[in-house]
Amino acid sequence: SAVISQKPSRDICQRGTSLTIQCQVDSQVTMMFWYRQQPGQSLTLIATANQGSEATYESGFVIDKFPISRPNLTFSTLTVSNMSPEDSSIYLCSVQSQVQFFGPGTRLTVL
Amino acid sequence: KQEVTQIPAALSVPEGENLVLNCSFTDSAIYNLQWFRQDPGKGLTSLLLIQSSQREQTSGRLNASLDKSSGRSTLYIAASQPGDSATYLCAVYSSNTGKLIFGQGTTLQVKP
């Protein structure tokens, strides 16, 4: 199993600002995933982050808006840049080890 | 393109009832199927994982089945309790894309 922590757990931000979300895993993993869950919706994959290489973004998500860092095998950050109210969502970090494990999520509200 | 659908979107039952949640997927090329539970404002907890070669998995009062050829899975909850109230998400791991594709979820309320 994997234990995943995220910081912050929630935040309220002003439009036009940026927020960096941190994800820490208790074991080394090759791939880490970032998901978004908009209000009342299911999860959508934003990008896959491998250590030592650029993140791979899904259709509809771009690096300028959601830059990702993956400095080592247990840590990753996702930045939500130049935020607008439409970015209000829960952002979840995930790793896969047979079963897919998820962090507790970061609830972001943009005013 | 793999699509995952869950029916019903919401369900309210009295405590003690047995219930079935349904999940269907359009592409049978999957590695596995996973059922998750999500409590309001929280992350996801994995409940059951069924490999593509398996037909069912059981954990306590939960039983999940998989019929890959027809693109369907069910999650059976026996003797439901108010603590079972949550949103249940089905997700398939697509062998074509290597990605986990989620359904929209079924929100369950178990009334005492």
Task: Count CB pairs under 8 A between chains A and B.
Answer: 42
The per-residue pLDDT for range A32-81, each reduced to its tens digit, is 999 999 988 889 999 999 888 889 999 999 999 999 999 999 999 999 99
Determine the average pLDDT of the residues in A78-99: 93
pLDDT tens-place string over residues B8-23: 999 999 999 999 999 9
pLDDT at B99: 86
Which tens digit of pLDDT belongs to each residue from B86-108?
A: 999 999 998 888 889 999 999 99
Q: Is A32 exposed, middle or buried (0-12, 13-18, 19+ CB in 10 A)?
A: buried
Q: CA of B43: which chain A residue's CA is closest?
A: A104
Top residue of B44, B51, B57, B104 to mutate, by most chain A CBs within 10 Å, is: B44
Q: Give the per-residue pLDDT at B5.
A: 95
Q: How far apart are CA A100 and CA B105, in angstroms?
A: 17
Which of B100, B101, B104, B107 should we substitute to test contact with A (largest number of A Cβ atoms within 10 Å)? B100
Contacts of B99 in chain A (CB under 8 A): 45
Q: Would you state the pLDDT for residue A13?
A: 96
Predicted local confidence at residue B90, as pLDDT:
97
pLDDT at A69: 94
Note the pLDDT tens digit of each residue in B32-41: 999 999 998 7
Q: Which residues fall within 8 angstroms of residue B14, CB to CB, at 6 or more apart?
A: B110, B111
Average pLDDT value over all residues in chain A? 93
pLDDT at residue number A52: 80
pLDDT band for position B110 (cuts 50, 70, 90): very high
What pLDDT sits at residue A51? 83
Q: Residue B91 and residue A100: Cβ atoms within 8 Å?
A: yes
* Chain B contacts in chain A segment 42-101 (CB below 8 A): 42-45, 90, 92, 94, 96, 98-101
